[in-house]
Amino acid sequence: MANTYTQIHIQFVFTVKYREGLIHLSFKDELYQYITGIIKNHHHKLLAINGMPDHVHILVGMRPTQSISDLMQDIKGSSSKWINEKKFLKVKFEWQEGYGAFSYSKSQVNSVINYIKNQEQHHATKSFRQEYLEFLELFEVVYDERFIFKELI
């Protein structure tokens, strides 16, 4: 798109269905490489990816050629299909419905990258639920408790 100049930084947060810890170290890096490929194929720029066994954080420099929902649909749909085809797990892998998408200015990008890189340390003291609710509060997102990522009961 000629004469179109943008700077759009979005952090995506999404979870394994029922927040089960199914993202094992044995295939985590391969999964992140696969997701990186999806992002690059859509001509976006991956700035950071990391997570825990039950969820993933991605920071993307987005081009305005694709909607956020279309990108997330492709990432989640393609990666869950890929995990199942590779038979990394004995159970069917699914991502939980929904995601968080939070925008940042250029001046915040380095701190968000560091935050994503340090997920393991961060979650030594804070649960995913606490983290996610803090994001929603910080970004002043109106939400319904009934629809916050569900856990197995």
Nearest CA to 131 among 148, 144, 114?
Answer: 148
* Buried/exposed code over 116-128 (b: 16+ C-beta within 10 A; e: otherwise): beebeeebeeeeb
Structure tokens at 99: 């995601």
What's the CA dihedral at 99, 107, 35, 139 to 10 degrees? 0
CA distance 34 to 124: 27
Give the containing element (helix H, strand E) for 8.
Answer: strand 8-15
Q: How confident is the model at residue 152 (pLDDT cuts 50, 70, 90)?
A: low
Domains of the chain are 8-147 (3.30.70.1290)
Give the pLDDT confidence of 111-139 residue by residue, as tens digits: 999 999 999 998 999 888 899 999 999 99
Q: Assess whether pLDDT exceeds 60 at residue 153.
A: no
Give me the mean pLDDT over the 62-87 stretch.
Answer: 97
Give the pLDDT confidence of 93-102 residue by residue, as tens digits: 999 999 999 9
Give the containing element (helix H, strand E) for 104.
Answer: strand 100-104
Structure tokens at 124: 């030594």
